[in-house]
Structure 1
């Protein structure tokens, strides 16, 4: 994408309006529902969190919301509101499955660290050591690209918009295998190859969020393990944690039971067909608040939930460690605004850490306090120009609830 921003930031240069118009032109007419007349948000001191969240939903025209609050490695509160599908009035619950967009990258990060534990890869080795094709920035052919750079978005790989946008597929799984797409993007003479797939800057010197780079990291894991990434994650992460509803790729159950996604603009919520993207490791996971909370707790608790361990403490420490310092950081990074772990990052000017996700019709967050004591998982199946203020308002309510619950408990 012509310097496509993070899927977890509502895409100013990606342009939500352009995406909306493009999708509507492609999809044709779809069910339309007008948002309810906005109501004023009650003062927090006079309303329960349920009432306050529902008021924010009315303000922003959000069709469905589900969330969980985590304190000291346990789900301390959870709630769900509105509809997974407005037409059938099917309620949104914390078990409702939907796309989570770029939060998927944290699973790629965990799988990468697990493969490292197994001695299959080195975070600082040349990425092409693990690939059946060569990956080099043509402006800096002697400088290797590494998994650490992919995971901190410093690889110099860019997302060329006209290529990336064409790889969204509605109503079906992506027809092109991940490896074929990546080979065509990175190999001179390939179908999507071009010097503009890379920055002028050398690998390691500049931060540029890259979804395709994350897809490349996922493919490298497949290459070194000899397993499809979804199977590797199922065996080592999802299965052990009991995340039975979590999967990559579109399944029949997603269309019957998953959340319908809505694009919202000017008080109108337009239902979308389910979709996938060719570079699916970067944002293709479908899961529920309940399932994702299990994974999040594992990261916050050093790789372990109850008696189940998916990663060693040292691996989680390295994944969550903020990699940039005053002496060693990309030239375009202000540490007061942004820092990065391995597919993990600071948010809201370093107030929180974790990851978010944004794609047509959805917004998600999986964020923790810097001390990792409290965390919030938040899903909504509605996104657009009208929704951001309400979404941030709900996020604030959830962190206020987390702080209150933490204050009522003695520190461990």
Structure 2
């Protein structure tokens, strides 16, 4: 049964008493951010929120607001676990690039080379589909709604249907879930349509070719080396006592919804914290390095992060100045940010950086809002990014002042 919490302004003002922060340096430089965030949470009914600001690949600020559990008044902190929805695709992408690095797969080989069944687009039966197509959402494979969302979530537990069985039944004629509507009437590489099932299929291929389940593979090559000790893919492998409750707002009530698993877990199944995900994002922004150690070859991460839509490889429906793609990530906000967003029942997440990788923001919220209120999440991101920019500029000014004080000369820069 769903639990319902009626919104009351007085109750949500208690958010102010359940916040946790860590900043670098005595000068906090974020005098307005608390009031901005708590006002928007109170007005819209967001139960809990956690965020981190990364400047020049270092976490300079992080804080939790509100509640991971409204009923029991458990605060939401940056160590609170939550499923991160489609931000998970970036981890699937990193696993795929590690498999490329190991010679297990190629981005440009026909995926049927790797599969125990054959996937053929009935509109283009002679065209090959590649992992690069899957990772840039140009494969011609489609999420068929409402089936895709109505059939793949399992409340209260991890999904039991094996990923490979589902994919075979979805893509092979005669399968239980097969339909011509599972495919687009577009040749692979020529048209972009965002697709969750492409990440599910890519993750499955990584599992087949490496001989390891994606959770074990990512733990070995990403989570453990980065110190992401509390991150996992399934409810059964994380500490549920530290997992946020999830909520959905309907009219003027916030309704608790059950935790859930998903059959196509490579598209959105990672459960992590702001603290842990910050480590992964810094690793990407540093081209495979973390704390001075090369965990992935630089060329692997550079290929993952480079713009794929260039030259003759621009889909017919894409303006690359507004939307470009890497390996399971894309530009956002009119082409001005890189990373990924995530949205699932009770979940809203952001992991975005500016194009120069100077200021980045991670944002978790454990509450779904109505479509008309969705813009509040983007305004929260904007406020956090603006604070990060102020911190960066303050550090830059401080550096110049220190140089001038020590040398008696202004610091000069060439154009």
TM-score for the superposition, normalised by structure 2:
0.88
1:124 maps to which residue?
A: 108
Mapped pair 1:205 → 2:190: yes
State the Cα distance separating 1:327 from its structure 2 match. Answer: 4.2
CA distance change for structure 1 residues 141 and 63 in 2, over 3 Å: closer, same or farther? same
- 1:82 pairs, out of 36, 57, 66, with 66
Q: 1:49-91 deviations in whole A, cap 9, x for unaligned? A: 1222111111221100000000111101001100000000000
Contact 2:288 2:301 in 1 (8 A): yes
Q: Which has the higher contact order (CA 8 A, sep 6+)?
A: 1
State the Cα distance separating 1:341 from its structure 2 match. Answer: 0.7
CA distance change for structure 1 residues 214 and 351 in 2, over 3 Å: closer, same or farther? same
Contact 1:149 1:204 in 2 (8 A): yes
CA distance in 2, matches of 1:135, 1:253: 34
CA distance in 2, matches of 1:31, 1:314: 49
State the Cα distance separating 1:250 from its structure 2 match. Answer: 1.2
Mapped pair 1:150 → 2:115: no
1:216 maps to which residue?
A: 201
CA distance in 2, matches of 1:84, 1:251: 19
Any residues of structure 2 matched to 1:23-62 within 5 Å, and which? 29-37=1-9, 47-62=31-46
Mapped pair 1:409 → 2:381: no
Mapped pair 1:395 → 2:381: yes
Contact 2:231 2:238 in 1 (8 A): no
State the Cα distance separating 1:237 from its structure 2 match. Answer: 0.3
The 3-state SS of whatever aligns with 1:409 is: helix
- Structure with bigger gyration radius: 2
The 3-state SS of whatever aligns with 2:317 is: coil
State the Cα distance separating 1:46 from its structure 2 match. Answer: 10
Mapped pair 1:317 → 2:302: yes
Mapped pair 1:344 → 2:341: no
CA distance change for structure 1 residues 407 and 175 in 2, over 3 Å: closer, same or farther? same
2:359 maps to which residue?
A: 374
Contact 2:230 2:238 in 1 (8 A): no
State the Cα distance separating 1:325 from its structure 2 match. Answer: 2.5
Bigger CA drift: 381-390 or 138-147? 381-390
CA distance change for structure 1 residues 86 and 324 in 2, over 3 Å: closer, same or farther? same
2:407 maps to which residue?
A: none
Contact 2:82 2:272 in 1 (8 A): yes
Contact 1:264 1:387 in 2 (8 A): no
Q: 5+ unaligned residues in a row in structure 1: which ranges? A: 1-28
Contact 1:61 1:264 in 2 (8 A): yes
CA distance in 2, matches of 1:253, 1:189: 37
The 3-state SS of whatever aligns with 1:367 is: strand
CA distance in 2, matches of 1:195, 1:71: 47
2:89 maps to which residue?
A: 105
- 2:117 pairs, out of 133, 141, 148, with 133
CA distance in 2, matches of 1:129, 1:250: 32
Cα RMSD (Å): 1.9
Mapped pair 1:91 → 2:63: no
State the Cα distance separating 1:170 from its structure 2 match. Answer: 0.4
CA distance change for structure 1 residues 261 and 187 in 2, over 3 Å: closer, same or farther? same
CA distance change for structure 1 residues 35 and 310 in 2, over 3 Å: closer, same or farther? farther
State the Cα distance separating 1:113 from its structure 2 match. Answer: 0.6
Mapped pair 1:278 → 2:263: yes
1:384 maps to which residue?
A: 369
Q: 5+ unaligned residues in a row in structure 2: which ranges? A: 14-28, 400-412
CA distance in 2, matches of 1:94, 1:403: 21
CA distance change for structure 1 residues 46 and 349 in 2, over 3 Å: closer, same or farther? closer
State the Cα distance separating 1:151 from its structure 2 match. Answer: 0.3
CA distance in 2, matches of 1:255, 1:387: 29
Contact 2:30 2:387 in 1 (8 A): no
Contact 1:60 1:389 in 2 (8 A): no
State the Cα distance separating 1:396 from its structure 2 match. Answer: 1.1
Q: 1:121-166 deviations in whole A, cap 9, x for unaligned? A: 1100001111111112111111000000000000000001243121
The 3-state SS of whatever aligns with 1:67 is: strand
1:6 maps to which residue?
A: none
CA distance in 2, matches of 1:147, 1:86: 42
